[in-house]
Chains A and B, each alone.
Chain A
Amino acid sequence: MLLAHQIAMENPAMIRAEGVEATEFPDLANQFNVRGVPQTVINAGGGMVVGAVPEQGLIAEIKRALN
C-alpha cells in the first residue's frame, strides 16, 4: 500500500491510490475477486497484482494496464 501511495504522490492530478480494508468493504472486494492480500487493482480491473511486488513489478503492470 505504501508503494501505491508513493506513486500517487508523484502526480496527484492524474493518480489516486486508495488502501482498502477488504473485510470492511466486502462488496468492493468481491467485485474485484480479491483472493490474496495485498491485492492491487488498477483502474477498476484493467490490471491486477496479487501479493506484494517491488516498484518495477507494479510499474510494469500499470504500463500494461494503461496500454
Chain B
Amino acid sequence: MEKLLNEQVISQVKQAFIQMKEPVQILFFGSRENCDYCTEARQLLEELEAIDEKLDLTVYDLQDNADVASQFNVDKAPAIVIAAKDGDQIVNYGIQYSGIPSGHEFGVLINDILLVSGRDSGLSEAVRDFLKHLEKPLHLQVFVTPT
C-alpha cells in the first residue's frame, strides 16, 4: 500500500518527537461496518508508531472489543484515544479524537502526543485548581473540519 506520510513529513515528526519524554499509548478503534475512513486512519497511525519507540499503538474493533471501547468511552469509529503508558499500565487522560486526523488535525495529533508524553497540561494554576475540584462531569466535544 502506498504510504500516507512522505519522507518530509516523517522527518518533521521525528524532529518534533525529540521532545517526547514519557511513553504514549494510542488506542485505535475501527469498525468493519459503515466506516469509510477506518483503513486510512489505521494506516496513518501505524506509520506514525513506526517513527518513535516511545509511541505504542494498539488496534481494536468497536464491536469485537466493546468492553475496551466502553472502558475508554468510545462510541464511534474511527476513534483515536491518546493515553499515557506507565510500565504495563495504560492511563486514560480522557483525550480522544473521532475521525481521520488529516491536514491541520494531523498537527494537533502530534501536539496531543507531545502533551501526553510530557504528563503536564501546561494550564494556569487557577484553571488547574478549578478543574481538579469539579463536582459535575464535563464532556467537551470540539468539532473540526479537514483543512
Q: Which residues of A contact B (CB under 8 A)?
A: 1-2, 4-12, 14-25, 28-29, 32, 34, 37-44, 55-56, 59, 62-63, 66
CB of B105 within 8 Å of the partner chain: yes
**B residues in contact with A34, CB < 8 Å:** 143
Residue contact B98 to A24, C-beta cutoff 8 Å: yes
> Interface of chain A, helix or strand or loop or mixed?
mixed
A59-B138 Cα distance, complex, nearest whole Å: 11
CB proximity of A61 to chain B, nearest CB, Å: 10
**B residues in contact with A29, CB < 8 Å:** 143
A59-B96 Cα distance, complex, nearest whole Å: 19
Residue contact A22 to B140, C-beta cutoff 8 Å: no
Residue contact A2 to B123, C-beta cutoff 8 Å: no
Among residues of A, the one whose C-beta sits closest to the C-beta of B136 is A66
CB-defined interface of B129-147 with A at 8 Å, one 1/0 digit per residue? 0111010111111111110
**B residues in contact with A1, CB < 8 Å:** 97, 105, 108, 142, 144
